[in-house]
Amino acid sequence: MTGNRYSRRQVMTTGAGLAGLLALGPKGIAQASPSARSAVLRALAQEQITLDVFVHLNHPFDNVKPLFEEKYPNIILNMLGNNDMAVFRATLAAQGEGTPDIFWPEIDVVQELGKSGVLLDVTDIVTKHKDELAPGKMQECYISSTDKYAAFPGDIATVGIYYREDLLEQAGVTIPDEWTWDDYIEAAKEIKGKTGAASFNLPTTGDFWTSVLWGYFLYQLGGAVTNADGTEITLDDDKGIVAMEMVKKVYDADISIDEVPVEENFFAAIAAGQVAACPLPVWFRNFGIEPSVTDEQSGQGYWRVTLLPTIDGGVSRTANFGGAAIASTNYTQHPDEVKLFMEFALGTMEGATACGEWGILPPYLPYLQSEAWSSVRSPAFGDFAFNDVWTQAVEQYVGTWYKQPVFGEAMIEVGAAMIPMLNGEVDIPTGMREVGDRIRELNKRYQG
Amino acid sequence: MEHVERLQVSPIERPRRRSRGRLAEIARHWPEYLCIAPFFVIFAVFFAYPIGWAFVLSFQRWDGITEARWVGLDNYRFVLNDPVTHRVFTNIIRYLLILVPLGVFLPLAFGAILNLPFLRFRGVFRTILFIPVVTSLVVVGIVWRLLFGTANGWLNGLLAHVGLGPYNWLKDPALAQIPIVSLTIWGTVGFSTLIVLGGLQAIDQDLYDSARVDGASGWQTFWHITLPLMRPVIVFLLITSTIGVITLFSQPYVVTRGGPANHTLTPLLHIYNIGIGTSGAPRIGDATALSFLLTAFMLVVVFAQLWLVRRRGEE
B170, B249, B269: best to mutate for the A interface, most A CBs within 10 A: B170
CB < 8 Å to A259, chain B? 149-151
Rounded to a whole number of angstroms, the distance from the CA of B282 to the nearest CA of chain A is 9
pLDDT band for position A35 (cuts 50, 70, 90): very low
Q: Provide the phi-psi class of A92: left if phi over 0, else alpha when psi is between -120 and 50, else beta.
A: alpha
- Residue B205 touches chain A, beta carbons under 8 Å: no
Task: Report the domain count for chain A.
Answer: 3
Residue B230 has pLDDT above 60, yes or no: yes
Convert the pLDDT of each residue in A229-251 to its tens digit. Answer: 999 999 999 999 999 999 999 99
The phi, psi pair for A198, rounded to 5°, reads: -85, 160
The pLDDT, as a whole number, for residue A45 is 55
The pLDDT, as a whole number, for residue A15 is 44
Q: How many angstroms separate the Cα of B139 from the Cα of each of A262, B180, B270, B291? A: 18, 14, 22, 28
Question: A271 with A178, same domain?
Answer: yes
Query: Which amino acid, A184?
Result: Y
Q: Give the residue from chain B lying closest to A407, CA to CA.
A: B280
The pLDDT, as a whole number, for residue A38 is 55
- Residue B280 touches chain A, beta carbons under 8 Å: yes
Question: A12 with A74, same domain?
Answer: no
Whether residue A445 and residue B286 make contact (CB cut-off 8 A), yes or no, is yes
| CA-based R_g, chain B, Å | 26
The pLDDT, as a whole number, for residue B152 is 75
Residue range of the domain that includes A263 = 159-321+377-446
Whether residue B170 and residue A419 make contact (CB cut-off 8 A), yes or no, is no
The pLDDT, as a whole number, for residue A201 is 96
Rounded to a whole number of angstroms, the distance from the CA of A321 to the nearest CA of chain B is 15
Residue A3 has pLDDT above 60, yes or no: no
pLDDT band for position B19 (cuts 50, 70, 90): low
The pLDDT, as a whole number, for residue B17 is 60
Question: A198 with A306, same domain?
Answer: yes
> Which residues 104-163 of B have a C-beta within 8 angstroms of A?
142, 145-146, 149-153
| Average pLDDT over every residue of A351-378 | 95
How far, in Å, CA of A58 to CA of B271, rounded?
30
- A21: exposed, middle or buried (C-beta count within 10 Å: 0-12, 13-18, 19+)? middle
CB < 8 Å to A207, chain B? 257-261
| Mean pLDDT rounded to a whole number for chain B | 89
The pLDDT, as a whole number, for residue A104 is 96
The pLDDT, as a whole number, for residue A13 is 43
The pLDDT, as a whole number, for residue A5 is 39
CATH code, A230: 3.40.190.10
Whether residue A438 and residue B153 make contact (CB cut-off 8 A), yes or no, is no
Residue B288 has pLDDT above 80, yes or no: yes
Question: A242 with A388, same domain?
Answer: yes
**Do the domain assignments include residue A58?**
yes
**Do the domain assignments include residue A146?**
no
The pLDDT, as a whole number, for residue A36 is 45
Residue B14 has pLDDT above 70, yes or no: no
Question: A201 with A264, same domain?
Answer: yes
| Average pLDDT over every residue of B49-78 | 94
The pLDDT, as a whole number, for residue A24 is 40
Of A355, A374, A393, the last residue of a domain is A374
Residue B205 has pLDDT above 80, yes or no: yes
Convert the pLDDT of each residue in B293-309 to its tens digit. Answer: 999 999 999 999 989 88
Whether residue A258 and residue B151 make contact (CB cut-off 8 A), yes or no, is yes
Whether residue A93 and residue B65 make contact (CB cut-off 8 A), yes or no, is yes
pLDDT band for position B165 (cuts 50, 70, 90): confident
The pLDDT, as a whole number, for residue A22 is 41
| β-sheet bridge partners, residue A102 | A53
The pLDDT, as a whole number, for residue A32 is 42
Under 8 Å between Cβ of A350 and A344: yes
Rounded to a whole number of angstroms, the distance from the CA of B65 to the nearest CA of chain A is 6
| Average pLDDT over every residue of B2-7 | 47
Please tell me which residue, A24 or B114, carries the higher pLDDT value. Answer: B114
The pLDDT, as a whole number, for residue B66 is 87
Rounded to a whole number of angstroms, the distance from the CA of A118 to the nearest CA of chain B is 8
Please tell me which residue, A356 or B3, carries the higher pLDDT value. Answer: A356
**Do the domain assignments include residue A142?**
no
**Do the domain assignments include residue A125?**
yes
Whether residue A268 and residue B151 make contact (CB cut-off 8 A), yes or no, is yes
How would you classify the pairing of strands A200-201 and A256-257? Answer: parallel
Residue B214 has pLDDT above 80, yes or no: yes
Question: A423 with A278, same domain?
Answer: yes
- Residue B233 touches chain A, beta carbons under 8 Å: no
Question: A367 with A390, same domain?
Answer: no
Whether residue B65 and residue A116 make contact (CB cut-off 8 A), yes or no, is yes
Task: Give the angle B287-A407-B177 at the CA atoms, nearest 5°.
Answer: 60
Question: A192 with A274, same domain?
Answer: yes
| Mean pLDDT rounded to a whole number for chain A | 90
The pLDDT, as a whole number, for residue B313 is 72
The pLDDT, as a whole number, for residue A232 is 97
Q: Give the residue from chain B lying closest to A414, CA to CA.
A: B261
Question: A369 with A416, same domain?
Answer: no
Question: A289 with A418, same domain?
Answer: yes
List residues in chain A touching B: CB distance below 8 A: 85-86, 89, 92-93, 108, 112-113, 116-118, 203-208, 257-259, 263-265, 268-269, 272, 274, 405-409, 411-412, 415-417, 419, 438, 441, 445-446, 448
Residue B74 has pLDDT above 90, yes or no: yes
Convert the pLDDT of each residue in A91-125 to its tens digit. Answer: 988 888 899 999 999 999 999 999 999 999 999 99
How far, in Å, CA of B153 to CA of A124, rounded?
52
List the A159-164 sheet strands across, edge first.
Answer: A277-281, A159-164, A303-306
Q: Which of B61, B150, B276 is the closest to A259 by Cβ?
A: B150
Question: A302 with A241, same domain?
Answer: yes
| β-sheet bridge partners, residue A279 | A161
| Average pLDDT over every residue of B12-32 | 76
CATH of B76-314, one of 1.10.3720.10, 3.30.390.10, 3.30.200.20, 3.30.565.10: 1.10.3720.10
**Do the domain assignments include residue A151?**
no
> Which residues 11-70 of B have a C-beta within 8 angstroms of A?
61, 63-66, 69
Own/partner pairs, A90-94, CB within 8 angstroms, 24+ separation: A92/A118, A92/A329, A92/A331, A92/B64, A92/B65, A93/B64, A93/B65
Question: A368 with A235, same domain?
Answer: no
pLDDT band for position B18 (cuts 50, 70, 90): low
**Chains A and B: how many Cβ contacts under 8 Å?**
101
**Do the domain assignments include residue A140?**
no
Q: Where are the domains of chain B?
A: 2-57, 76-314
- B27: exposed, middle or buried (C-beta count within 10 Å: 0-12, 13-18, 19+)? exposed
Whether residue A419 and residue B260 make contact (CB cut-off 8 A), yes or no, is yes
Rounded to a whole number of angstroms, the distance from the CA of A271 to the nearest CA of chain B is 11
Convert the pLDDT of each residue in A238-285 to its tens digit. Answer: 999 999 999 999 999 999 999 899 988 899 999 999 999 999 999 999
* Start-end of H helices in A157-282: 165-171, 181-195, 208-220, 238-253, 264-271
Convert the pLDDT of each residue in A142-176 to its tens digit. Answer: 999 999 999 999 999 999 999 999 999 999 999 99
The pLDDT, as a whole number, for residue B21 is 82
How far, in Å, CA of A318 to CA of A220, rounded?
7
- Residue B74 touches chain A, beta carbons under 8 Å: no
